[in-house]
Structure 1
Amino acid sequence: MTHRPDHSLRRLMAEAGLIRPRPSRGADAPGQEFPHTWQEAITTVTELWHGDVERRRFLLDSAFAVGAGSTGALRWLTLPQESAPVAGGHRRVGTADIAAIREVTRSFGELDNRFGGGRIRPAVVKYLDTAVAPLLSDGSYGEATGRALASAAAELTRLAGWMAYDLERHGLAQRYLIQALRLAREAGDHGLGGEILAGMSHQAVYVGQPAHALDLARAAQLSARRAGIFTLLAEAHVMEAHAHAVKGDRTACAASLHEAELAFDRRRGGDEPGWISYFDEAYLAAKFAHCFRDLGDGPATVRHATRSLDMDGRYVRGRMFNLSLLAAGWLRSGDLEQACSAAGEALELSRDLQSARSRSYADDLRRRFAPFAGEAAVKELGERAGSAAV
């Protein structure tokens, strides 16, 4: 049986001067590389979690790197499956350990949707560092348990990355998503990997890298097909559509939206993984609305944004985004009264969210309403919104 080193113990011994610390891998480490081996993956992801807990500046201030995402996607698609993730450490890993990680992921995910990543993320990263890292670093598990552990760790790492994205810490978010992708690869979970790639595409559009977003969305499509998850395939196609919209390519956007609809119509509901359950008719409509907003089509934006509001009430942040889309659509359509009404609701919801993306959506509304600052409806909106005024 092989023994995997306890990285927490190694850190303590180094701090006490009992062993020599490992040399630093530089300001860009850890997390941008997609590790080739399982042992390298464990070392990289646990160092990432611990560095994040310690709030190391080189992580918090790290920049988004297109090349890192592209390399990660390529290795996800091409890396041969190595021997199964088995280990003979001191701590036996069981189904209860994995169930706990999954339940924590579900609970933290619900809180993130209600309150934004700022309130919740420190607790998520702390749990990864103190509860999950020891299972990976010094756990004892066979193949089936190892794959389940890698999958559960991937889901929670993905959530921590998504929260960093919500806080607009884009370099940090990218590192988490790349490492989540590597964990999913070890788990042999093509569906979860495709979901992570779709999230990476989502982020790439947000940071103004539509060409990179296209590559990631297409990689997500390949993974969705391998997994046979049609809701995920619809998501990957709509992410491609949004990238086309940002590039101003109406024809390609329309084609991708059509493919998204076809895939969504083939979904199998209860047969699909729980992590894709959020992607329902309302979410699909919201992504359509994003596309049409960025193409400058006001009526289509209004139509799809209105449909998107028939959504799960727990998704407070998502509702704020969708109301912002509706306001932008009404404004583009020339209906200032309706635009102000939707914007007022969006800005009211943003008050209680600790979400940099929510603030950016609010700032976008301010820019859109600025040419109409002298209108009575806009003045009233500003008075009603108070500190969130347009």
Structure 2
Amino acid sequence: MEQQRTLVSSDFDHGAFSVAALRWFTGPWDPAPPPATGRRIGFADIEEIRQVTSAFRILDNRLGGGHVRSPVVEYLHTHVGPLLRDGRATQQVRQELFAAAADLTKLAAWLYHDLDRQGIAQRYLIQALAMARHADDHGLGAEILAAMSQQAHYVAQAGQAVDMARTAQAAARRAGLPVLMTECEVMEAHGYAAQEGGARACARALTRAEAGYDRATTAERPPWLDYFDEAYFAAKIAHCFRDLGRPVEVEEYARKSLRMDPTYRRGKTFNIAILAMSLAEQGRLEEAVEEGRTAVDMAAGLTSARVYRYIRDVLGALGPHAGERDVAEFMDYAEERLPALRVRAARP
């Protein structure tokens, strides 16, 4: 239990992702030998893990990481872990088992990331990457590397975000998944957007991503890539323009991103929030307050530190106009609906 507390409170290790990415390509990655003891497992066991993972992912998108983290970690360590250690299976089944475990482990990482516990989230991502390699699944490896890129961007490691995105592209190329390549290219663009002087490199990466988008969306994809559609792509582009400080383009793509599946409640909250920010930065205060109220209402009930960060950013964008009655009323409203934000401290 003491080790668990240490891991949960640990910090993001700035060098760990680079080492993990290098090992992805260079090894050694000797496959784990089939254990001599334990019960026989088959494809039915793997399908159960995939269905449970899918159900947890739906709940995460609707409720936020705080509501889902404990049962996911419990299931991973008490059910999936013993199968990996002790289950007897053919090599094919064992590879599929590692792939299913990698996907679930990536979800566990994302739940901790959503709660802003970045150190343990990073460790779960590294473990998920190792599992994907044992499964010899380059596509899933690319997806995990792209997640590493996003986390690196979130913790203000823009250079590392670019490196992870480019490594992810190499894995996606081996997997032959065009939609995954598009995702990795837009993640590369996002990393450049956060770098000083990175606007041109960002534009080049976005051009590559957009050029391959049509081909990407018509190709077959694995179930764990179902979320990537036109709305998700638009949201990623909006985030790039947000980092570049171009609110007009942010608004254009943020509005496109709202044509998304409504079951992705947390993602839609993000997208409405960045739309509100872009409107505030353009001086369109009435519209910004209206969208901000919608984002606050959607955030209520979500246990997500990332959502609270987006709401704080909306308040920050409106801060210079705090003397305006509508803006002041919105700040009071946000404080009432989301008291944990302590939004008064963010006012100028």
Q: Shorter-chain TM-score: which interval?
A: over 0.9
- Deviation, structure 1 residue 89: 2.2
One-letter amino acid matched to 1:68: A
Counterparts of 2:69 and 2:219, CA distance in 1: 29
Give the letter aligned to residue 300 of structure 1: E
Of 30, 40, 52, 1:92 maps to: 40
On the 8 A contact 2:35/2:85 being kept in 1, the answer is: no
C-alpha deviation, 1:87, in angstroms: 3.1
Q: Does 1:215 align with 2:163?
A: yes
Matched to 1:200, the amino acid is M
Q: Is the 8 A contact 1:147 1:188 kept in 2?
A: yes
Which of 72, 76, 83 in structure 1 is aligned with 2:24?
76
Q: State the TM-score, normalizing by the size of structure 2.
A: 0.94
Give the Cα separation in 2 of the matches to 1:223 and 1:369.
41
Quick check: 296-305 or 365-374, which moved more? 365-374
Distance 1:268 1:317, change over 3 A: closer
The amino acid that maps onto 1:280 is D
SS at the partner of 1:88? coil
CA change 1:304–1:183 in 2 (3 A) is same
Q: Following superposition of structure 1 onto structure 2, how do residues 28-47 of structure 1 map, counting pairs within 5 Å?
A: none
- Residues 85, 147 of structure 1: 8 Å contact kept: no
Q: How many residues align?
A: 338
Alignment of 1:62-73 (within 5 A): 62-73=10-21
In structure 2, distance between residues paired with 1:139 and 1:329 = 52
C-alpha deviation, 1:82, in angstroms:
3.1
Q: 1:343 maps to what in 2?
A: 292
> Greater Rg, structure 1 or structure 2?
1
User: Which amino acid letter does the alignment assign opposite residue 108 of structure 1?
Assistant: F
Query: For 1:197, which of 145, 150, 155 is the aligned residue?
Result: 145
Query: Which residue matches 2:261?
Result: 312
User: In the alignment, which of 49, 61, 67 is matched to residue 101 of structure 1?
Assistant: 49
Shift of 1:380: 2.8
Match of 1:272 among 212, 215, 221: 221
2:242 alignment partner in structure 1: 293
Cross-structure match for 1:246: 194
Tell me if the contact between 2:178 and 2:212 (Cα under 8 Å) persists in the aligned partners: yes
| Conserved 8 A contact 1:85-1:146 | no
SS in 1 for 2:303: coil
- Give 1:80 deviation, angstroms: 5.1
Q: What are the superposed Cα offsets for residues 88-122 of structure 1, whole Å, 9 maximum, x if unpaired? A: 32211111111110000000000000000000010
Q: By how many angstroms is 1:83 displaced?
A: 4.6
Q: Distance in 2 between matches of 1:116 and 1:56?
A: 22
Distance 1:169 1:81 in 2: 28
SS at match of 1:344: helix
Shift of 1:269: 4.2
- Matched to 1:344, the amino acid is R
In 2, Cα distance between equivalents of 1:81 and 1:121: 29
Q: Distance in 1 between matches of 2:29 and 2:330?
A: 57
Work out whether residues 315 and 331 of structure 2, in 8 Å CA contact, stay in contact via their aligned partners in 1.
Answer: no
State the distance in 1 between where 2:35 and 2:230 align.
42
Could you tell me which residue of structure 1 aligns to residue 330 of structure 2?
Answer: 381
Change in Cα spacing, 1:294 to 1:125, as seen in structure 2 (3 Å) is same
Q: Per-residue CA shift, 1:243-282, capped at 9, x if unaligned? A: 1111131111111111111222211546210101101100
Q: Could you tell me how far apart the structure 1 residues matched to 2:333 and 2:315 are?
A: 14
Question: What is the aligned partner in structure 2 of residue 48 from structure 1?
Answer: none
Partner residue, 1:354: 303
1:147 is aligned to 95
Identity %: 48
Give the letter aligned to residue 309 of structure 2: S
How far apart, in 2, do the equivalents of 1:109 and 1:169 lie? 18
The one-letter amino acid of 1:78's match is T
State the AA in 2 paired with 1:375: E
What is the Cα-based RMSD across aligned positions, in Å? Answer: 1.5
Structure 1, unaligned stretches of length 5 or more? Answer: 1-50
Of 310, 323, 326, the residue aligned with 2:275 is: 326
Q: Deviations over 1:364-385 (max 9, x none)?
A: 1122211110112202323443
8 Å contact from structure 2 (residues 149, 164) kept in 1: yes
SS of corresponding position for 2:11: coil
Q: Spell out, residue by residue over 1:141-187, the C-alpha distance to the aligned partner (whole angstroms, 9 max, x if none).
A: 11101100000000000000011100010000000000000000000
Q: Residue by residue, what CA displacement relative to the aligned partner does 1:64-97 show, whole Å, maximum 9, x if unpaired?
A: 0121111001111222553575333221111111
Task: Give the Cα–Cα distance (whole angstroms) in 2 for the partners of residues 237 and 265 of structure 1.
Answer: 14
Q: Is the 8 A contact 2:217 2:229 kept in 1?
A: no
CA distance in structure 2 between the partners assigned to 1:170 and 1:384 by the alignment: 30
The answer on whether the counterparts of 1:85 and 1:143 sit within 8 Å (CA) in structure 2 is no
